[in-house]
Structures are given as C-alpha cells and as structure tokens.
C-alpha cells in the first residue's frame, strides 16, 4: 500500500497536536494549518520576507504553513510563525520582530486570535 502524508515524525506529531488543539479550543485556524501541513512538500507554501513586509501591518502576527525565505526587506515589527526559516529570513525578521515555531505560537495563543495565514 502506498503511504500518504508526511513521513517526518516531528511533522506528524505537530499535525496531530494542531488537530487536537483545534477541537479543544474550537479554533478553526489550527485545523486549517494542519491541513496545509499535510500537503506534499512541493505544494507547501514558500513566502519571502518582501511578501511579509507587503501584506502585514506593524505588530501583527502571521503564520506561514511552510518555509520563509530571506528575499526582500522588512521595515516594521512583525511576529512570524512558520514551519521553517532560511537563515537570512530569520536574521532579517529578528532585527525588527520575532521568529516563532508553530508550536510556540500554539502555546502562546491557543485560541488563534489575531493571527493571519500568509502564503
């Protein structure tokens, strides 16, 4: 039988945690993120820092269910949670704001209030 879904154990744990929290907190955001993370790697979202800069406001929190790349500049404070960051993206974001893992954002904001999905 052909295997479907991610084979990475950590990603599987994250997806099940997101689905569980979505049901407990009645927060559809986490279920949507879990569904996005179940996609094949080649279909996962990839977002540049320039896009984050363009589509966010100061002190906003966004989540990227994929990878953040370092192309572009950031000119305001923003908190970004993502599955992974390139080293350039992480450096640029941390100069102005904060880089979080999806687990950290889930722990800090279990209801998912005022979080936008980007990508």
- Confidence category of residue 7, pLDDT binned at 50, 70, 90: confident
- In the chain the domains, ranked by start, together with CATH numbers, are 9-117 (3.100.10.10)
Q: What is the pTM of this model?
A: 0.91
User: pLDDT digit string (tens) for 22-65?
Assistant: 999 999 999 999 999 999 889 999 999 999 999 999 999 999 99
Q: Is 78 left (phi over 0), alpha (psi -120 to 50) or beta?
A: beta
Residue 108 φ then ψ, to 5°: -75, -30
Q: Report the SS3 class of residue 118.
A: coil
Write out pLDDT tens, residues 58-109: 999 999 999 999 999 999 999 999 999 999 999 999 999 999 999 999 999 9
């Amino acid at each position: 039988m052909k295997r479907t879904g991610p084979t990475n154990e950590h990603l599987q744990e994250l997806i099940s945690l997101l689905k569980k929290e979505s049901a407990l907190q009645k927060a559809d955001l986490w279920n949507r993120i879990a569904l996005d993370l179940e996609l094949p790697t080649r279909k996962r979202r990839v977002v540049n820092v320039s896009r984050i800069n363009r589509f966010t406001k100061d002190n906003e929190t966004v989540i990227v269910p994929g990878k953040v790349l370092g192309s572009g500049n950031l000119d305001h404070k923003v908190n970004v949670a993502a599955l992974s960051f390139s080293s350039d993206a992480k450096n640029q974001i941390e100069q102005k704001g904060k880089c979080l893992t999806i687990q950290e954002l889930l722990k800090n904001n279990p209801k998912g209030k005022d979080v936008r999905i980007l990508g």
